Amino acid sequence: MSTEKPSLLKILILTARPKTLGASIAPVLMGIALAVREERFQGFSALCALLGAVLIQILTNYANDYFDFLKGADRENRLGPIRATSAGWLTQKQMQLALIVLVFMSLIPGAYLIYRGGFPILIIGVISLLLAFAYTAGPFPLAYLGLGDVFVLIFFGPVAVMGTYYVQALHISWDGLWVGLSGGCFSVAILTVNNYRDMENDRIVGKRTLAVRFGGKFAQIEYGMMLCISVVIIPLILALTNVEQRDILLLMVLIIPALFLIRSIIQLKGTELNLLLARTTKLLLVYSVLFSVLWII
């Protein structure tokens, strides 16, 4: 590629995909809100949960960069952000070192969370680390089999929210299941934009995402459904199951920006979809903050 090579620090930041990290921050914020409401907030545990979630997502982004390069998935006509390995910004050995460093960084907050939460958190942590690599690595990578949506829905949704709550309260909140599904659906919407944008390239390299398997129209419908479930269906369920929490219905006001985003995925093409991806992540963060405020008060 002819793109000028940035500084090493900027390369590391860009490879972390900072515009998408709201997908790991949002469910932790909602899990904290659940704990605060029940007077179970535990600051250091919440901080470690946040650091752990963000580091796992960064690790996943780095692993995607490296293993997609090895599989030849990043072609010169790529529409998404430049990948560090395929662009020659980082060598394979540098990426391998970065992956090792990120694994050990993830273990630091993870160690305390395991000490605090015990065996259930150990299981979640081990599976999360394995899936960070299994998303694009190995003989049966999830992303290449069209299973990425399931992984994102579960681990950026209920697992993240309920796990964050659990390491503070040390018991399960079943409200966290519905709250987690709202965040998980938002994250699936973010992934859908990514897969919709890369659909043609992915088809060529054999990466059979849902967009590749079922087509662009399916991806547009999936995106719209995920947003509507998050901003309409889940608030209704939470209001019906928590009589004293009817203010949560105010989340439904976000259907207005959501509809604009749904219109965008129909109208935008190619690199224009990178902006939609960033805007969807921003709406997820707005959703998580608004949920937290409404749930606590």
5-59 pLDDT, tens digit per residue, is: 889 999 999 999 998 999 999 999 999 999 999 999 999 999 999 999 999 999 9
Per-residue pLDDT of the chain (297 residues; tens, 9 = 90+): 445 788 999 999 999 999 899 999 999 999 999 999 999 999 999 999 999 999 999 999 999 999 988 887 666 666 778 889 988 999 999 999 999 999 999 999 999 999 999 999 999 999 999 999 998 888 889 889 999 999 999 999 999 999 999 999 999 988 999 999 999 999 999 999 999 999 988 888 888 999 999 999 999 999 999 999 999 999 999 999 886 788 999 999 999 999 999 999 999 988 899 999 999 999 999 999 999 999 998
Residue 2's pLDDT is 43
Question: Where along the chain do its domains lie?
Answer: 10-296
Model pLDDT for residues 181-202, shown as the tens digit of each residue? 999 999 999 999 999 999 988 8
Quote the mean pLDDT of the chain: 92
Overall fold of domain 10-296: Farnesyl Diphosphate Synthase (1.10.600)
What secondary structure, in 3-state letters, does the chain show? CCCCCCCHHHHHHHHCCHHHCHHHHHHHHHHHHHHHHCCCCCHHHHHHHHHHHHHHHHHHHHHHHHHHHHCCCCCCCCCCCCCCCCCCCCCHHHHHHHHHHHHHHHHHHHHHHHHHHCHHHHHHHHHHHHHHHHCCCCCCCHHHHCCHHHHHHHHCCHHHHHHHHHHHHCCCCCHHHHHHHHHHHHHHHHHHHHHHHCHHHHHHHCCCCHHHHHCHHHHHHHHHHHHHHHHHHHHHHHHHHCHHHHHHHHHHHHHHHHHHHHHHHHHCCHHHHHHHHHHHHHHHHHHHHHHHHHHHC
Residue 138: the pLDDT is 82
